[in-house]
Chains A and B, each alone.
Chain A
Amino acid sequence: MTTAADPTVSRIPAPAPAAPEFALRRRLAFRRMPISIKICSLLALAFVFTALFAPWLTPHDPDATQILAKLKPPAWMEGGEAAHLFGTDQLGRDLLSRCIYGVRVSVGLALFGLIVGCLIGTTLGVVSGLLGGHVDRAIMMLVDVFISVPNLLIVLVGIAAFGTDIVVLVVLIGLARWESYARIVRGQVLQVREMPFIEASRALGGSHAWIAMRHVLPNIAGPLIVLLTLNFPSILLLESSLSFLGIGVQPPTASLGSMVGDGRDHLIFAWWVAVAPALVIVAITFIVQMLGDWLRDVLDVRVDD
């Protein structure tokens, strides 16, 4: 009996052949993206652009108060002014300008936090996977333990002890998710480790560090990129939750979370003060989540269980 004649077998799609490097790059090409992903990636670029060039984009100084113009509604509502597109807050500061700076602060903090967590997690994951044995068991035990502690609590302890300096926040936010990288990277390293080219490099006298940098890391870049993208929203939300509670980025610096927190007291008469930054947060997390899900499908990696 041939497989083609068996209806149950023929319906199962054949496993895709291992995709060579150039095919991967082609799958990520802009013109091959579905339309929704095209829009999302353009918007993501726009947000990065906003964060980078905030000082040149804002119509007003984000911290300049104007008591006479406080709690002005957005331009399209009755009583709104074209000069303040999103309206003004309780101190008469221009909300659009503050949102633009808020994107800069929040996205910047989240990105640096992401890098910190990724560096720690990847290093431990590579060490764990390459060395194996007791080192591996110890690191994996640490990962297990960290997963079961609510990360917000650890961050709270850190803030109470070391204050809300930007560097402290970046490190604490980064620490919150390091274990996810360690787990994924270790799994990937265990697979890559058995490849002939690693054995060849070792036979030629390559050290652990050399093998890790030159051969292992480039081969696990795909899953790492997916994980970074998928972790970004949760890091951003962690930072904005802290700032919302008033224990993250300190005033007068505008962070999207602290802006929502400020607006909470004016919900009844001036809902836009809280809603404008809240919409920006939702937009960013939504866009990045969509991109992450798409990347995961295209690169065909399993990062969550």
Chain B
Amino acid sequence: MNYTVEILILPKDSIRDPEGEAIERHMLGEVRGKLKQVRVGKVIRVILEASSKEEAIKMAEEFSSRGLHNPLVHKVELRAI
């Protein structure tokens, strides 16, 4: 069966994110005061053939760590749809 998996790649919490900081500082003025943080990342959506949702996520996690994200500076969240 085919599963759609979204790989959400974000800078690790310890890494400064100038793009997120610029958005926080120069846009979103209407929520200033309530806005606590902005972080910018990438979403990569893939369609995979797998026997289960869990297997699809495991496969995506495995190939993402081989170059889609850099474990030194990124954290990933995966979800299958």
The answer to whether A and B assemble together is no
B residues adjacent to A (C-beta < 8 A): none
A residues adjacent to B (C-beta < 8 A): none
